[in-house]
Structure 1
Amino acid sequence: MTTKTDTAVGTVTVTPVRSRRDWAAFSKVPFVVYASDRNWIPGDIADVGTMLRKPSEKTSGRMTSQAFLAYRGSTLVGRIAAIADLVFIAHYDEPTAYFGYFECLDDVEAAHALLDAAAEWATAKSLTTLVGPMSPSLLWSAGIVVHGNDIPPLVGMPHNPPYYAELVESWGMTSVKEFHSFYHDDPHSLVQTKPFERKYAMGQRWKARSSVTIRPMNDATFDEDVEKLRVLYNSAFSSFWGFTPVEPDEIQELVATMRPILDRDIVLFAELDGKVVGFVMGIPDVNKAALGAVRSRFGILRDLHTIARWRGPGGRKHRTHVRLDMMFVDPECPDKGTSALLIFELFQRIHDRGYNSIEAAPVLADGGWFRSVRASYPVDPSRTYRIFSKTIRP
């Protein structure tokens, strides 16, 4: 598949990624797009090699994809991946394709040509809707940053130039979902302020009489804990927008990307009668260390330099911020105060561990969490992420 768009300043050509050289160019595109962006941190959240280029047999059984490159003349200007999430399609019986790993210069013709190529690939597979960006799914990285892209990205969350939303909207895509993040300097102090006074008092009373116990992740039973997390995730998120059941190898791969930076003391399980009924994870924001690391296209070099800055002498100055992620409770848990117990315990531990600030993300804009946050803490989100959709019937 090759698409050409003629313009007054040259020709945009979109070609499928096939060869080793093509994949090298695919990895190079972000270095072109973010050449002057001081806030950008190299590296895709979900690895291109294991997700797109050489997926495992299990990954191939869950999704199929095709990557594309855009050139203006001989100049590399963009990339995209068209993705068919076979689990999503079967789970919802919806002929939907994703686009992801989208990066492009501020070039409308190039962006449209890339989206055209993704849509053409999808329609050839009888898929009728294009949704994204999903890189490669909601479990990993999703959405275009439409507010808050002038600051360094939050660990594990996307980052992009401010013009991306305009590029996809001009192609005819419309917003289908929004997620937010919320920032605060000292969450332990926050829940003791006047707006939270009543809820904090209720939480303390609930804790005194609750049979729920809170414990951190255990290195000795790490794999068992991860499996318990997966089972609970599939139960708690079954009605969440875009949910698909997570397999053991998927959660293991996701956790493996975070394991080098995890602080086990702020990865918490709630248990009742010996059963895991709730979970919340604080992720130390390694991006402060990553911002100062080398910008090499060799990922292993970037990672080693980042970890050295993170764990080496002076690393404590980077470990100040925490992302609150994956807070959920078993919907059949009889103790309805479990979520509050987890949050209060996490905030206390973050304070005790010497972290200075927290950011909760992603928070679904039309979900219960968002309404709860706005009711108690009526401030504007620090960032907003938007997912787009378009019908692409031939």
Structure 2
Amino acid sequence: MPAPAIRPVVNKADINAFVELAYQLNGDDPHWVAPLRSEVKATISPGKNGWFSHAEAQLFLAERNGKPVGRISAHIDRLALEMPPEQGFGPGTGFWGLFEAADEATAVALIAQAEQWLRNKGMTRALGPVSLSIWEEPGLLVKGQDHAPTVLMGHHPARYQGWIEALGYAPAKKLLTYDLDITQQFPPIVQRIIAAGEKNARIRVRKVDKSRFDEEAAIILGILNDAWSDNWGFVPLTQPEIDDVGKKLKPLVFEDLIMISELDGEPVAFMITLPDFNEALQPLKGSLFPFGWAKLLLWLRKPKVRTMRVPLMGVVKRLQSSRMASQLAFMMIEYIRRAAVPIYGASRGEIGWVLDDNQGMIAIAETIESRINREYVIYQKAL
């Protein structure tokens, strides 16, 4: 297979081709969930994605005989460059992502182009795939191609793994998601821990108040930036990102699915749960027309789903590794479970992603008898 021509995305037609390629290459995969085209375009548009306030990216298209056969982004996050190297990023670290390729020759040419762009910017190390922010869709799916991803998670063909590893990339970090049956009561030990917490006058676990959306979001952001600050790959969320994510996710915010835990009146932990929007999205094939928008509006009014995803939770640093941290986590999970099953019709939950060395979260997942159902790998290579 001859190498394709690689060129930068420079105009609206290129952007459309960049977006459409994913639908062309993945349309036959029964487990791939086509994102809304408008959402993909917003992700790669500096005016609509707050991540660009501290980052820059270049998109590339691969073409063979004038036909698009692959795509990739190369990008640099200035906040990631400022992070301590022992936390995974740091000086000299660049990224590539939004990767799609019809064949191995295309994959090789695209990744080589992304690497060269990063070298030209002074980077000495490449991490990928990360699309675009670590908070968006990080990692390559290497286990779990036999079922559809949940909301805000990626899905990739199994062949990509071999192509990437053949280019000298080695795993930098593994990200896990956990599957659990939420129709069943949690094990007796967990129920006892929850009951003890309910008797503790110092603890209050409450639903968020959507009428105070900005204030509640600020509370959660404060806990998040403290709780995750020592984690591998942490990059603090900025206000422009929060504003854009808020607009995007507000329709998926249901008060009984997001909990804030208070200790002695101080917010110290949170858990965000989202109904699996992908279940409504998958039949639409990425388009709201002619009737997709009406179907989504009806679904958002009162969603009924099989799966609930917990994309984010956090406990303030001073309580981490304590019994209190686990107790608050179990209480929040149980309270959300009590709403998810009877009100939304859910039968399973998915927790993740979870870093493969996050022993505290892994212990919680195992204690409630969940199992790993998907694995993602972020790869690294010296440039």
Counterparts of 2:314 and 2:365, CA distance in 1: 18
Alignment equivalent of 1:91, drawn from 83, 104, 110: 83
Preserved contact between residue 19 and residue 41 of structure 2 (Cα < 8 Å):
no
Q: Identity, % of aligned pairs?
A: 24
SS state at 1:127 partner: coil
Counterparts of 1:45 and 1:239, CA distance in 2: 35
Counterparts of 1:173 and 1:358, CA distance in 2: 32
Letter in 2 for 1:346: I
The normalised TM-score by structure 2 is 0.89
Which residue number corresponds to residue 293 of structure 2?
304
Change (3 A) 1:311 1:115: same
Change (3 A) 1:286 1:57: closer
Counterparts of 2:292 and 2:173, CA distance in 1: 32
Preserved contact between residue 269 and residue 280 of structure 1 (Cα < 8 Å):
yes
In the alignment, is residue 32 of structure 1 matched against residue 21 of structure 2?
no
In the alignment, is residue 386 of structure 1 matched against residue 382 of structure 2?
no
Letter in 2 for 1:264: E
In the alignment, is residue 156 of structure 1 matched against residue 148 of structure 2?
no
Counterparts of 2:364 and 2:265, CA distance in 1: 30
Instruction: Give the drift of 1:125.
Output: 0.8
Counterparts of 2:126 and 2:253, CA distance in 1: 35
Preserved contact between residue 272 and residue 313 of structure 2 (Cα < 8 Å):
yes
Which residue number corresponds to residue 284 of structure 1?
275
Counterparts of 1:77 and 1:264, CA distance in 2: 43
Instruction: Give the drift of 1:373.
Output: 4.4
Q: Can you list the C-alpha shifts for 1:71-96, whole angstroms capped at 9, x where unaligned?
A: 12222111000010111102234211
Counterparts of 1:341 and 1:231, CA distance in 2: 21
Q: Can you list the C-alpha shifts for 1:110-153, whole angstroms capped at 9, x where unaligned?
A: 00111011100000011011101111111111111111112111
Could you tell me which runs of 5 or more consecutive residues in structure 2 were left unpaired when the two chains were aligned.
Answer: 85-89
Which residue number corresponds to residue 331 of structure 1?
317
Preserved contact between residue 35 and residue 286 of structure 2 (Cα < 8 Å):
no
Preserved contact between residue 98 and residue 133 of structure 1 (Cα < 8 Å):
yes
Instruction: Give the drift of 1:268.
Output: 0.8
Q: Give the number of aligned pairs.
A: 373
Which residue number corresponds to residue 68 of structure 2?
76
Which residue number corresponds to residue 130 of structure 1?
126
Counterparts of 1:23 and 1:289, CA distance in 2: 26
Alignment equivalent of 1:182, drawn from 172, 178, 185: 178
**Correspondences of 1:8-27 after superposition (within 5 Å):** 9-27=1-19
Counterparts of 1:148 and 1:375, CA distance in 2: 19
Instruction: Give the drift of 1:216.
Output: 1.1
Counterparts of 1:117 and 1:68, CA distance in 2: 8
Which residue number corresponds to residue 6 of structure 1?
none
The normalised TM-score by structure 1 is 0.87
Change (3 A) 1:59 1:140: closer
